[in-house]
Structure 1
Amino acid sequence: MTKIDSAILKQKQHFEILDGLRGIAALSIVLFHFMEIVYQPSKNFIAHGFLAVDFFFCLSGFVIAYAYHQERIEKMGIAAFFKTRLIRLHPLVVFGSVLGLLAFLFDPFSSHPETYETGKLILIFLASVFLIPFPAMPDRYFNLFGLNAPAWSLFWEYVANILYALFLYKLSRRSLFLLTILAGAGLCFVSYRAGGSLLGGWNGETFWDGAARISYSFLVGMLIFRSNWIIKSKLGFISLSVLLMLAFLIPFTEWNWLTEPLVVLFYFPLLIALGAGATLKQGFRKLCIFSGKISYPLYMTHYAVMWLFANYYTTYKPETTELFYIISIGTLLLVGFAYLAMVFYDIPIRKYLTDRRKKV
């Protein structure tokens, strides 16, 4: 561990503003998923909301490098690291799969369940629970996880965590820098091959795009921490939230081949560096903490409703005013449901598993 790492760790920082930005990104994903069902990208005001996933990946690399530095990994052991990460992430993977199955079976606006044999549906559900990519639902665009589409990014998050515990945490800063450069080149290649967009990784056809997206962003997040690229400033939560939202509000144009890689390669790392060194006013502390806590439950529980909404929209073609109320109220209700899932399911389950693990 470097002297820089030691100095930062001794401060026992908790990056509340970054927690707050994670919540802003999760909320943007929800709005993006609502809007992409209704509008073509060129008419979608939050057409680049999907880039929030790349922000998540970058933030994850930073946080993992901070929380599980070399000294701690070697002290706790790889097995303990894997158990800790499973307890943190997997309860909501299971919960999201169950929600997805229930929404699929009891969707009042669709007859799709009738087209699937029971055996195949069981396989799809088990693949979702155990986070095994299984793009087997043509009516859902061959999503890697047809019952809970956002789980594709969790799959790659698991891969990144495994590779981190096996060898990434041991890399020197120079090696990490070179690997990040190579990953950045791979990301640019994926964008070029896909016709100038990074909107890939979520289905069978674009599976490896997900590897490119997390490779660069996770590594550069690590590099920011390991290199102490933390920019001290007087920027606060509101200012940084606005800066983050600007990336998602960039219009979808023929310049995507340039704007999207620039945002992911440089803008998001800059925001992480600024967020880590920003000044948090006391009045926003609780909001940031709540925002950070609700982000993962919101991300992993919202998509079952998206399939219901998509089938409702296809069936009834609601007008713009009705859509405004549906999306606005629906987003608030999803945040409320995510809070209930967090309080009554995720936190108790994780506490139970953690306590049981300590007794073993």
Structure 2
Amino acid sequence: MNHYSVSVKPHYPILDGLRGVAAIIVVTFHLTEPLGTGHLDILVNHGYLAVDFFFLLSGFVIGYAYDDRWKKMTIGTFFRRRIERLQPMVVLGMSLGAIGFYFTDSTIWPLIHTVPLWKMLLVMLIGYTILPVPLSLDIRGWQEMHPLNSVGWSLFFEYVANILYAIGIRKLSKTALAILVAAAAIALAHLAVTSPNGDVSGGWTLNAEHLRVGITRTMYPFFAGLLLSRIAKPARIRNAFLWCSLLIALVLYMPRIGGAEHLWMNGIYESVCIILIFPLIVYLGASGVIHSHTEGRICKFLGEISYPLYLVHYPLVYFYVAWISNQKGVTIIEAWPYALLILTGSIILAYASLKWYDEPVRRWLRKRTIA
């Protein structure tokens, strides 16, 4: 989700900032989701599209950072760097989920009372690898690939995209890559328009239906980002961070389109967002210029916490969801102080995780793997 080039190339601080903006919106989505009655009336209705935005950012940054380095870099080296970047926070996120598991007591998760410690620890250890657990190990009852930290599913597909890039797609010409991206765009639009809910939401369960959703949601944005990194000629755009942040917020906070009667309309909206608007935002962000020290610090902070925030917030959200389900009929007015507490706590925990765990661990891993 959050990738940083280890080369001396110019950095894209605005893209880092936008990643942080999207990560915060994801948290607000997960905090409003349990207050809705279904997929039609969630307050942050399109918050899940942030994952598709993350995939597009990933493809762009991976292409920018690694495309021109393959003459000096092996596939093994590439994977080692990806694992160094991604896995420490995966391990911490799963550990936090395990610590909180037996304390998220709720009628919506009756399985928790029946799960022996060894089984929970097995799920945690599998989670450390980011490999999805089979439904036979669904210890929470939500059919999640990662019952201790639900967001792990997108990291699994992130790795799938990285593997496909490294073993072959990186070698494609711009034309061949464009054909692949066009085919992936058609598949994505078809999924969005024809899905039972009229959206692309899904990918977190280890079954055929969700695997199709997950791979379809990954293929277009990731490799569209890769293509964009190869063909884009960034201009110099003023106030890009502000305008791109507003555009991301507008897209993700947009209410449901079409209602229950016209589900396909929402599918078209999401297709347009992922296929056209997200690449535009990434292009504008890559073209943007930081105009003040304050703006630079904001982008740096948001970029630094974005990946840790994504990985640590959901173990806290489980507590919040349990509280809402145990109260029955909680309104947004009653829930917002607790939601604000979870959001603030998640950001603080993310920053603490970054400084006291993620950065030191990655430094240690880098020293051990430098040839």
After TM superposition, the score normalised by the length of structure 1 is 0.92
CA contact (8 A) 2:320 2:339 kept: no
Query: Is the 2:111–2:141 contact (alpha carbons within 8 Å) kept by the matching residues of 1?
Result: no
Q: How many residues align?
A: 350
Give the CA RMSD over aligned residues.
1.9
Q: Given the alignment of the two structures, is residue 285 of structure 1 paired with residue 302 of structure 2, yes or no? A: no
Identify which range, 194-203 or 94-103, moves more after superposition: 194-203
Q: Distance in 2 between matches of 1:47 and 1:231?
A: 33
Question: Which 5+ residue runs of structure 1 have no aligned equivalent?
Answer: 1-9
Q: Deviation of residue 74 (structure 1)?
A: 2.5
C-alpha deviation, 1:198, in angstroms: 0.4
The whole-number CA distance in structure 1 between the counterparts of 2:159 and 2:325 is 35
Deviation at 1:139, TM superposition (A): 4.2
Q: Distance in 2 between matches of 1:138 and 1:357?
A: 36
2:244 paired with 1:240: yes
1:31-50 residue pairs with structure 2 within 5 A? 31-40=28-37, 41-50=39-48
Q: Give the corresponding residue for 2:262.
A: none
Once the two structures are TM-superposed, the CA of residue 75 in structure 1 deviates from its matched residue by 0.4
Correspondences of 1:172-251 after superposition (within 5 Å): 172-195=173-196, 196-205=198-207, 206-251=210-255
CA contact (8 A) 1:73 1:165 kept: no
Which residue of 2 is the match for residue 148 of structure 1? Answer: 149
For residues 216 and 33 of structure 2, what CA distance do their matches in structure 1 show? Answer: 23
The range that moved more, 336-345 or 317-326, is 317-326
Cα separation, 1, equivalents of 2:332 and 2:55: 34
Alignment of 1:88-167 (within 5 A): 88-107=85-104, 109=106, 112-134=111-133, 135=135, 136-137=137-138, 139-167=140-168
User: How far apart are the structure 1 equivalents of 2:324 and 2:43?
Assistant: 18
Q: Secondary structure in 2 aligned to 1:68?
A: helix
CA contact (8 A) 1:26 1:295 kept: yes
Asked if the contact 1:65–1:222 (Cα under 8 Å) also holds between the matched residues in 2, the reply is yes
Q: Which residue of 2 aligns with 1:74?
A: 71
Q: Which residue of 1 aligns with 2:4?
A: none
1:273–1:11 CA distance, 2 compared to 1 (3 A): farther
Note if contact 1:236-1:281 (Cα within 8 Å) is conserved in structure 2. Answer: no
Amino acid paired to 1:120: K
Question: Among 258, 277, 286, which residue is 1:276 paired with?
Answer: 286
Query: Deviation digits for residues 61-98 of structure 1, max 9, x if unmatched?
Result: 000000001x3122021111111110100011111111
SS at match of 2:43: coil
SS at match of 1:326: helix
Conserved 8 A contact 2:94-2:149: yes
CA distance in 1, matches of 2:243, 2:226: 24
Q: Residue in 1 aligned with 2:269?
A: 259
Contact in 2 for aligned 1:17/1:288 (Cα 8 Å): yes
For residues 266 and 357 of structure 1, the distance between their equivalents in structure 2, rounded to whole angstroms, comes to 39
Q: Is residue 57–residue 225 contact of structure 2 (8 Å, CA) maintained in 1?
A: yes
Question: Structure 1 pair 229/215, CA: closer, same or farther in 2 (3 Å)?
Answer: farther
Q: State the alpha-carbon separation in 2 of the partners of residues 172 and 319 from structure 1.
A: 53
Q: Which moved more, 1:146-155 or 1:101-110?
A: 101-110
d(CA) in 1 for partners of 2:235, 2:40: 35
Deviation, structure 1 residue 138:
6.8
Aligned residues of 2:23 and 2:306 also touching (Cα < 8 A):
yes
What is the alpha-carbon distance in structure 1 between the residues aligned to residue 233 and residue 173 of structure 2? 16
Residue aligning to 2:60:
62
| Aligned match of 1:7 | none
What is the SS of the residue equivalent to 1:75?
coil
1:335 to 317, 323, 347: 347
Whole-angstrom CA distance in 2 between matches of 1:203 and 1:235: 40
For 1:236-295, what per-residue CA distance to the aligned partner results, in whole angstroms no more than 9, with x for missing partners?
Answer: 312210011111011113321210111001000010111110122123001101101100
Report the counterpart of residue 83 of structure 2 in structure 1: 86
Q: Which region of structure 1 is more displaced relative to structure 2, 253-262 or 24-33?
A: 253-262
Aligned letter for 1:62? F
CA apart distance, 1:109? 4.8
- Structure 2 length-normalised TM: 0.89
